[in-house]
Each structure stands twice: as structure tokens, then as C-alpha cells.
Amino acid sequence: MFGALYDFCRDQGSIIGGLLALAAGYLVFSSVRRSADQQVAAVNAQAEAVRQQNRDLRDDARHRQMRDATVALKLLGGVLALIRDDVDRLKQLLEQPRYGGANRLAPTNYRQLLYRPPISILWDDLGMCSPQTISNYLRLDARLAEFVRSQVFAVDLMQNEVREISDILALLEQELASDTAQHNTLAENPQQD
């Protein structure tokens, strides 16, 4: 019986060799495929880790921007409050009875009573505001600079200038309140990606 099996295997050797080669090929294919699946899973895990890191960085940047905007809006509000106090005080000084009558002149130091912070200090903070707020603040800054430089001390003219500055301030205070409300809305309802 072993002899017949030997003769059969010898005669059918190429078929048996082919089947063994096919089995070896399948084993190699399955191990390569398993290795490729593991590599794909590892790459997918790395890609998801990078996506999560990007989301975390974006969220951190958004939080930092919200914090910076809050600080900027409060700082600008404080500056406007200082200017408003100076304007109100100057209005009261100009309305005193001793400045009544024709050709009234105010003391020369009255033009120096309005606070005007250097624009360079506020420039970054202004960047957190709406374009309209920036435009009106620049208008206020220019108007304050013009007021301080003027050599005209007529009370009527100064009262008109102070009234104009007060109107610009009122507009700016409204816009700053609007910017603050919009910022608060964005802070409460962050955008989801």
C-alpha cells in the first residue's frame, strides 16, 4: 500500500507541489493582509489623534480670543467712561454763571482737561471691535486731539465742541454695548464643527 502511495505521489508531484505552494501563498497573503490592516488601523488612530489635537487647539484659540475680546471690551469701556467723566465735568465748568454774558472766555487750561489715551495703547484692543466702533473711536481720538490743540477759548465754541465730543461718545458707548452683547452671545453659543 505504501508503494502505491509512493508511486501516486511521485506521479502526481507537480499537483501536490502546486497545492503546497497555494497553501503557502495563502498563508503569506493572510499574514500580509493582517499586517496591512494593523497598519491602516494605526494610521487611522494617528489621524484621529491629530484631528482631536487640532480641535483642542482650535477650541483653545477660540477661548483665548474670547478672553482677549472680553478684556479689550472692558478696557475700552473704561477708557470711554474716563473720557465721559472728563466731558461731563468740563460741561459743568463751562456752564458756571461766571462764564455768562457776551464774549465769554474760558481759562486756557480747560482745553487740557479731557483725557486722551495714546492710540497705540488701545490699538490691539480696538481690533476686537466692529469696524464701525473702530471708525468712530478714531473719529473721537481725532476730535479730542483737535480740541486740545485749539487756541480758541470762547465758551460758546468750546461748549459746541464738547457737545460734539459727547455725541461721538454716546454713539461709541452704544456700539461698544452692541459689540459686548454680540461677544457674549458668541461666548454662550460657540460654533460647533
Q: How confident is the model at residue 7 (pLDDT cuts 50, 70, 90)?
A: confident
For residue 13, what are the contacts with CB-CB under 8 A and spacing of at least 6? none
Count of structural domains, the chain: 1
Residue 88 has pLDDT above 70, yes or no: yes
Assess if residue 2 is contained within a domain.
Answer: no
* Mean pLDDT value across residues 74-79: 91
Residue 99 has pLDDT above 90, yes or no: no
Kindly give the interhelix angle for 131-149 and 119-126, rounded to the nearest 10 degrees. Answer: 170
Assess if residue 11 is contained within a domain.
Answer: no
Q: Return the pLDDT at 81.
A: 93
Q: What integer best gives the mean pLDDT of the chain?
A: 86
More confident residue, 126 or 103: 126
Residue 151 has pLDDT above 70, yes or no: yes
Assess if residue 111 is contained within a domain.
Answer: yes
Assess if residue 102 is contained within a domain.
Answer: yes
Domain that holds residue 182: 65-188
pTM higher than 0.75: no
How many residues in the chain? 193
* Mean pLDDT value across residues 130-140: 91
Q: Return the pLDDT at 48.
A: 95
Residue 172, class by beta-carbon neighbours within 10 Å (0-12 exposed, 13-18 middle, 19+ buried)? buried
Residue 80 has pLDDT above 90, yes or no: yes
Query: CA 129 to CA 113: how far, in whole Å?
Result: 27
Encode pLDDT of 14-47 as tens digits: 777 788 888 888 888 899 999 999 999 999 999 9
Distance between alpha carbon 83 and the CA centroid of its chain, in Å?
27
Q: How confident is the model at residue 152 (pLDDT cuts 50, 70, 90)?
A: confident
